[in-house]
Amino acid sequence: MRDQKLYAGARLRKLREDAVMRQAHLAVKLGLSPSYLNQIESDRRPIPARSLPAIAALFGVAPTYFGSPDNLRQAADLCTVSADPIFGHATLSLAVARAAVRDAPDLTERFLALYGAYRTLADRQAMLQTKAAFADQSENTPRPPYDEVRDWVQSQRNYVHDLDRVAEAMTEQGDLAPAARQTDLEALLLREHRVRLRNAPGFLHKGTLWQLDRRGLVLHMAEEMTPETRAFCIAHVIGLLQHGRLIGRIVRRANLSSDTARALARVALANYFAGALIMPYRRFLQQAEAMRYDIQRLQTTFRTSFEQVCHRLSTLQRPGFEGIPFFFLKTDASGNVLKRSSATRFQFDRFGGPCPLWNVYQAFAQPGRILVQLARTPDDVTYLSVARTVGHAGGSYLSRPRVVAVGLGCEIEFAARTVYAAGLDLHASETVDLIGPGCRICARTTCRHRALPPVGRALDVGSVERGVVPYRILEG
């Protein structure tokens, strides 16, 4: 392998200027022409490998000063930091980051230190906001569009009455039986909107499920989709076309702050409509109660996916005809929350990372298996939590499948009404896992699974004892 060329002109120039040495004088010492040295310092030529030891000895630095693993780490850190939304949408390329580290090492180091201080302050603010989120409803701080829409859905207890009733009426009037649902939905789309379906090979490989050509009146759908996903997508499009005005009125009533948030809300409401059309409220709730909320049996009955059933179960809060209040979560293996909603007291932390003790994150180690857990949050509420991985095929061997985990949970007082309480002692506190938000803001000071100390708390790192966690969190 050829050695990588070393461009470090800014560093060499800084050493020379700090030593109050003229460029011509340095060129003589190195046996180089002044013009060649000028090109090196201007990064038009690399530092010759044969000259590197002499330069290092002359200025009393190690050869690695001009390029080391630390530089690569700093460059990687710069790329990571530049991905923060505070800097906009474009991230630095590794080449640009390396150039910044190479040409301005002191500035780079100070910038990374400054960003670290900013993140510490942001985490501390996040902790305070989490504590005060429900104590001061008058707070009017800017929020990302996703968070704003999620909070609005949460405020509705994840139930949208007008849309739910319209979807239920359509199902009953159209007699959309699960066995022939896809055919019936395709016929409805053609009859009411003159839109035909057309399979699109390779769509899923590109990350596309469907694409609506309004002018050509064609709905292109990924050929590789499962039947339940295909039916859901058709129902979504029907919601947009047939009930767009109703969805628009609901979005306007939500009083969201930006066009992006309103657009996200329309997508969320069309998804809600699709779920309500495929799993009509009263029929679905009656079956859920009869089957003790067995997700797999409900899948079979309504010919839907595990995730679709879980999400629908979290919406059953029609006044006077409520089901069990559930929270719902969808996350990836890194702890990024893709969907969240709650009809319970369970509050998702929007700032912290995942808790390794919660079964929704442990599900990735046992793909496809349903995990059941009794979990207690720091506010001393115990929940029955069900979690499982779900995924979408990539469409080809080289397109890696997308695997996520979904979690569904209810407060312990409702647990006995579900099949998932079978074999559990709901009153044995020693079998309850103590979960929390991300370590940076979790109040559990004695948790031996802690990865990071909490922000803003004093630590005792004395040397007279050593625990699993290498510090004690001081009270107060």
pLDDT digits (tens, 9 = 90+) for 401-427: 778 999 999 999 999 999 999 999 998
In 3-state terms, what secondary structure has residue 188? Answer: helix
Q: How confident is the model at residue 2 (pLDDT cuts 50, 70, 90)?
A: very low
Which CATH number is associated with domain 322-439?
3.30.450
Does residue 158 or residue 442 have the better pLDDT?
158
- As a whole number of angstroms, the distance between CA 244 and CA 249 comes to 9
Domain ranges of the chain: 9-110, 145-278, 322-439, 445-476
Q: Which fold has domain 9-110?
A: 434 Repressor (Amino-terminal Domain) (1.10.260)
In 3-state terms, what secondary structure has residue 323? Answer: coil
pLDDT of 379 higher than 80: no
Q: Please, what is the Cα angle at 282 between 280 and 286, to 5 degrees? A: 115
Cα–Cα separations (whole angstroms), residue 249 to 133, 245, 261, 343, 371: 28, 6, 14, 23, 40
Residues 6 or more apart whose CB falls under 8 angstroms from that of 83 comprise 91
Q: Residue 3's pLDDT is what?
A: 46
- As a whole number of angstroms, the distance between CA 285 and CA 304 comes to 15
Identify the helix (H) or strand (E) that includes residue 94. helix 94-103
- As a whole number of angstroms, the distance between CA 375 and CA 116 comes to 33
Do the domains at 9-110 and 145-278 have one common CATH topology? Answer: no
Q: Residue 139's pLDDT is what?
A: 46
270 in Cβ contact with 240 (< 8 Å): yes
Average pLDDT over every residue of 179-208: 88
The 10s digit of each residue's pLDDT in 280-317 is 999 999 999 999 999 999 999 999 999 999 999 999 99
CA dihedral 105, 109, 111, 116 (to 10 degrees): 160
- As a whole number of angstroms, the distance between CA 35 and CA 50 comes to 18
Average pLDDT over every residue of 258-272: 94
Does residue 2 or residue 395 have the better pLDDT?
395
Structure tokens at 214: 């309004």
Query: Considering only the top CATH level, what class is 145-278?
Result: mainly alpha
